[in-house]
Amino acid sequence: MDQVLLKARFAVAFTNTLKEEAELYLLSQSSKIYVQPQGIQTKVAEKFCWTEFLKSSGVSSEHVDELRVFLLVCGLRRVKDPLYLVKVFSELHYENPQNVLVIIGPKMDPAFTVEVEAVVKSTAGVFLARERSQQELHAAMKRCFAIVNSSASEGMSATILEAMDLEVPVLARDIPGNSAVVQHEFNGLLFSSPQEFVRQSQRLWSDLELREKVVRNGKRYVEEHHSVKRERETYQRLVDILL
């Protein structure tokens, strides 16, 4: 890592925290490191059927609009830890069948995918959806009750930011990459254990004022800090310096 940074003309960090970590390797040349959060832009597919999406994922209900669908968007690999909440979520579903968890994302690790498929198949209330186009995914995110991130490690989760832009509540595991973006009870909710996830989920459906607050602040946060235009300008400026 240190050799890569030493030879680089520039390094771009998503957050100040990541910049500080990089400076441990590149302290004498910290001026090389620029902070530029990733830009976020969402677009929802116009012809998207929520009922069909749920049905194709294995969710069957006569009252689709009454479901609380938690959507966990991630590539199927261990670092994303999609099975972290499966047990407690199945208990949530047992208490109230309206609560369902849908995991969706590309099958990046074939062996781990087989493991995920086996666990999901034997767990009530948890489903695995096939990968969709970005616009279809954004449409599904827009319709769900909340977006969940249970990753063991993150740089900066695009899905969390996209959810905020789409005005969907975020429930994220309390790890450095997520807490750099999600301010607890301000623009999302953080949890540090499966049991804490349950408590925060219950708050999200019982406290309408809190739900509206995190949605409103999440949208504002993305608009203020994750502009695609600003991101483009930063990289263009760096390219211009090289020319």
List the beta bridge partners of residue 72: 103, 148
What pLDDT does residue 175 have? 96
Amino acid, single-letter form, for residue 74: C
Which residue, chain included where needed, has tokens 């680089």?
8
When mean pLDDT is compared across 11-25, 31-45, 117-131, the lowest value belongs to 11-25
Q: What pLDDT, in 10s, does the model give residues 18-39?
A: 888 777 776 666 778 888 889 9
- Contact (CB, 8 A) for 67 and 100: yes
- Contact (CB, 8 A) for 171 and 211: no
User: In degrees rounded to 5, what are phi and psi of residue 132?
Assistant: -125, 170
Give 4's Cβ-side CA count (13 Å radius). 4
What pLDDT does residue 2 have? 66
Statement: residue 10 has pLDDT above 90: no
Work out the pLDDT band at 125, boundaries 50, 70, 90.
Answer: very high
Tokens found for residue 21: 């970590």
Strands (E), the chain: 11-13, 33-35, 68-73, 99-104, 126-129, 146-149, 170-173, 189-191
Instruction: State how beta strands 170-173 and 189-191 pair.
Output: parallel
Nearest to 147 by CA among 120, 125, 166: 166
Statement: residue 8 has pLDDT above 90: no
Say how many Å lie between the first and final Cα of the chain, rounded: 26
Over range 38-56, report the average pLDDT.
Answer: 95
Q: What pLDDT, in 10s, does the model give residues 207-236?
A: 999 999 999 999 999 999 999 998 899 889
**Rounded CA gap, 68 and 157, in Å?**
23
Nearest to 16 by CA among 156, 149, 173: 156
Domain limits of the chain? Answer: 2-39+227-242, 50-225
**Rounded CA gap, 8 and 212, in Å?**
44
- Contact (CB, 8 A) for 105 and 73: yes
DSSP classification of residue 39? P
The domain covering 50-225 belongs, at the CATH homologous superfamily level, to Glycogen Phosphorylase B; (3.40.50.2000)
Work out the pLDDT band at 62, boundaries 50, 70, 90.
Answer: confident
Tokens found for residue 179: 């807490």
Buried b (16+ CB within 10 A) or exposed e, 151-188: beebebbebbbbbbbbebbbbbbebebbbbbbeeeebb
Statement: residue 241 has pLDDT above 90: no
Tokens found for residue 241: 């310096």
Q: What is the CA radius of gyration of the chain?
A: 19
